[in-house]
Amino acid sequence: MIKMTKTKVLSLSMMVSLAISGMANANVTNKDILNDQMTTEDVVSYGLGLKGQRYSPLKKINTDTVKDMRTAWVFSLGGEKQRGQESQPLVKDGVMYISGSYSRVFAIDARTGDELWQYDARLPDGIMPCCDVINRGVALYGDLVIFGTLDAKLVALHKDTGKVVWKKKVEDYKAGYSITAAPMVVKGKVITGVAGGEFGVVGKVRAYDAKNGDIIWERPTVEGHMGYIWKNGKKTENGISGGKAGQTWPGDSWKHGGAAPWNGGTYDADVDLLFFGTSNPAPWNSHLRLGDNYFSASRVAIDPDTGKIAWHFQTTPNDGWDYDGISELISFDYKQNGKTVKAAATADKNGFFYVLNRKNGDFIRGFPFVDKITWASGLDKKTGSPIYIDENRPGDPADSKDGKKGTAVLAAPSFLGGKNWMPMAYNKDTELFYVPANEMEMDIWNEPGSYKKGAAYMAAGFTLKPIHDDYVGVLKAMDPKTGKEIWRYKNSAPLWGGVLTTAGNLVFFGTPEGYLLGLNAKSGEVEFKFNTGSGVIGSPVTWEMDGEQYVSVLSGWGGAVPLWGGIVGKNIKHLNQGGSVFTFKLPK
């Protein structure tokens, strides 16, 4: 299925052309990355800034002008690998860098849409990505373009040629590990998580020297596994991951605990902490692993210098529904009683929206952001812990007559989540979060299961279905201070792409039906609509070049919904796959 290809190398004439046009210019620095949100001429980090707010101060394209926005160019990723394009573009000095499905990277002339180079990873047979062959983006640092692969490697390419500068194996893909998230660079370190929770891997976050790929530290996210730090090439223990083996994982369940930080992280310089979400504990069957199962289904704050866990907040202890905790944690400030609160917010797969103190992880408030939650009656007002409805936990197969299937329950949200991987956005002008939510429920039951390296380790079954007859996806404008929904935009198919918001009072996002939409950030009114011809599950970006504002998004249907969506997936199976970058601007 995966063929070996050669990297396209720039010709001498193209190199000269790039130098003349200013494309082969300055390297990306730590300062560039830290200032990314407020520098409008480039996008050098995933999330348009390490906080992940996905907010741009640009406003030439606004509610008055966006109706005139036209395509500037369209770039095709080509070949037969037109499937599941979840990438967010990066832009530096007139060059756009994107990743594509099957672990590919492209450099594109941002003025013309011409391809400059392409790199195709040489993927082995037998890769085991849980949820399609997607990749969510690259990182830029110095003269390097860095990304993770489906066989769990980090690869650094030269930004001008696409040639490999260094390559490191992060984990063993034969055990079920992979990398699908965009890495981030903090203080010269490439920070990456791993995927593979459905295969009973041990989740972990790792830091590498961006210049040469040397490992700096490793932090497991399953309690009981040792963390390490490397100094002068020597590996030393850096403390057990926040507790002793078996403390919240009775017996040997911690040895294959999942808790994979597969969705990437954010960073806040104010408190100097990395924030990662972790996946479901393995297996899904919670009767096979008693206890709270630290640090699964959690937000984990990590010291970027040492890899130590500073604090954690667990959204679904002893998760029995595959609710994970992988949604991004976004730092933001707000005023309360005349004081500035340094907060962070996340919209969980479990259907609750949480506001935390980002200094220490203390719970500030939480509230539902979906229409239906069956597994919990609410959150404890002091701790934020869920108040479980015990009879709505899937039953233990050991209690059944034949021991093969536990009692099934109807659970909402579904395991695909009130919100899944797709990043929300925060607009500091409206002080609202824009959440790509989905209204789905599931019948779920437990089955017997045991760990085997490289095999699915779920011990559960499910069927998915929509909650409402006329829509599944809902973009919701949420007030984090009150928990109120300000407006909503309903969409017939699930929403599966990221959100961008701007000072132009706009919110951009895509739909599986192929549309890039621009909504009024205050009212939710549709101001712009364009059909790209394939489902949009990428994350839009905007930047300024030659005095003009541009908006770009990847189009290409795929991802988890058509693979796992059951009835929901069947309803949209007719949607065309694809692989294109659409770039827009206002006419001169």
Reduce the DSSP state of residue 584 to 3 states and report it: strand
Active site residues: 322
Please tell me the distance from the alpha carbon of residue 209 to that of residue 560, in angstroms, as a whole number.
32
Domain ranges of the chain: 32-585
Beta bridge partners of residue 227, listed in sequence order: none
User: C-alpha angle with apex 584: 581 to 587, nearest 5 degrees?
Assistant: 150
Question: How far apart are the C-alpha atoms of 148 and 178, rounded to whole Å?
Answer: 8
Q: Phi and psi (nearest 5°) for 569?
A: -70, -40
b/e burial code for range 256-265 (CB count within 10 A of at least 16 → b): bbbbbbbbbb
Q: Model-level pTM?
A: 0.95
Q: What size, in residues, is the chain?
A: 588
Q: How far apart are CA 340 and CA 167, in angstroms?
A: 43
DSSP secondary structure string for all residues of 20-53: HHT-S-PPB-HHHHHTGGG-TT-B-STTSSTT--
Buried-state track 71-84, b at ≥16 Cβ within 10 A, e below 16: ebbebebeeebbbb
Sheet holding 204-209, edge to edge: 184-186, 189-192, 204-209, 215-220, 226-231, 234-240
State the burial class of residue 213 (Cβ atoms within 10 Å of its Cβ: 0-12, 13-18, 19+).
middle
CATH class of 32-585: mainly beta
Closest to 194 measured CA to CA, from 278, 255, 137:
278
* Dihedral angle of Cα 297, 275, 558, 451, to the nearest 10 degrees: -40
CB atoms under 10 Å from CB of 490, counted, come to: 13
Cα distances from 325 to residues 108, 230, 279, 329, 492, in angstroms, run: 34, 28, 5, 10, 26
Determine the Cα–Cα distance for residues 334 and 336; give it in Å rounded to an integer: 7
Collapse the DSSP code of 17 into the 3-class scheme (helix H, G, I; strand E, B; otherwise coil) and give the result: helix
H or E element: which one contains 146? Answer: strand 144-148
Amino acid 9: pLDDT: 43
Measured CA distances, 508 to 116, 118, 282, 471, 488 (Å)? 27, 28, 35, 19, 14
Q: How far apart are the first and last CA of the chain?
A: 45
CA max distance for the chain: 76
Task: Decide: 495 and 559 in contact? Cβ < 8 Å.
Answer: no
SS3 568: helix
Nearest CA to 278 out of 330, 227, 375, 349 is that of 349
Per-residue pLDDT of the chain (588 residues; tens, 9 = 90+): 333 333 444 444 444 444 444 445 789 999 999 999 999 999 999 999 999 999 999 999 999 999 999 999 999 998 877 889 999 999 999 999 999 999 999 999 999 999 999 999 999 998 988 889 999 999 999 999 999 999 999 999 999 999 999 999 999 999 999 999 999 999 999 999 999 999 999 999 999 999 999 999 999 999 999 999 998 888 988 776 666 777 999 999 999 999 999 999 999 999 999 999 999 999 999 999 999 999 999 999 999 999 999 999 999 999 999 999 999 999 999 998 999 999 999 999 999 999 999 999 999 999 999 999 999 999 999 999 999 999 999 999 999 989 999 999 999 999 999 999 999 999 999 999 999 999 999 999 999 999 999 999 999 999 999 999 999 999 999 999 999 999 999 999 999 999 999 999 999 999 999 999 999 999 999 999 999 999 999 999 999 999 999 999 999 999 999 888 888 877 787 888 899 999 999 998
